[in-house]
Structure 1
């Protein structure tokens, strides 16, 4: 099963009298349980690509198909919101944790939005936080956690609704080398255990060892990395 298919995806913006094209004729498929890395320098179009895949933006041309069901040309806003809540998980460079919520509460939040009963929520959150090594830090706030621990919370949150695809935007950008290796190893293990696809955009070469495929995005074009 392909969780993602991009066919001739392009994105154009008009700024004053200038036309900016961060993405040009992108073709990409990602299969269930695959671990894919897209590398590229700042300004290469990586964030634009993730925003389109994550349904936060729409392509100017081409077709995106998610989970062999949802088509970018006919997707409704309600479907986009449902996809972001249930089918796609997000991991960010800056963690994006809510500072006044504990680790448990941060991970629990998507389940609360879905209306899952409390007992079921707590069990599921405890299980995933234990899996990422934070069962002793459930009630700690982000400011009480190290950068590596905060990213583990972010990963746990991205997986709490059992998504088909996790999008990670520079997930090791704020981590040292040791934490980088630990986080990548953890994501690779979770990818295999849960059969969830990971698509990671980064400029960090330390990530590539774990990838099933490494692609390179530059000047809006996506190619196999050589």
Structure 2
């Protein structure tokens, strides 16, 4: 336990439970890990540390699935990912210039925006135009740096269209993996990637693999309408929880 000497028992317990629950949701829906994980971690850790750990955990689990994600994702995921990489440092720079209370408020608003967007009418499976795709990539990058949450613009972009569930999940998770890598590189460049946070994240890898595996097993047993309902419920719960944590 010497590796965790810098963390209290409360912080460790919160991180383990949050990682298990958030990774289960990731396996079930194809997203939600950062949206659920970062706000909870921010209760026990400084917001910057919560964002860094959220990115580290997202990258670790994404790397274990990378060949499948590359094979099953839509080509638009690569265009969005490129813009995410460019915009992430700007979001992280904004986070380091913001107070903790303001950061928590912005994180809550981001979670709410994702829930509202998923309620919009579902669109065809045709790839949106360059402007929409570009806006999704830039916003996702800013949110990756600022809140460790690339999902709010990305989830409605894919889950709001008539696409196979496999394609939706792989596209989102590929973007999230690349976004997490960009977030960590930016954090390292700015001196925010502490060794203890990286070690803590590595020790949590078995926890997120367990939760993700259980979520994927459940996802394989439910119909598409039930899965889409689960997507909306996860976003709604994340938004509600984020708002409640402000009071």
Q: Could you state the TM-score of these two structures normalised by the residue count of structure 1?
A: 0.31
Tell me which structure has the larger Cα radius of gyration. Answer: 1
Give the strand-richer structure, 1 or 2.
1
The normalised TM-score by structure 2 is 0.29
More helix by share: 2
With a CA cutoff of 8 Å and minimum separation of 6, indicate the structure with the bigger relative contact order: 2
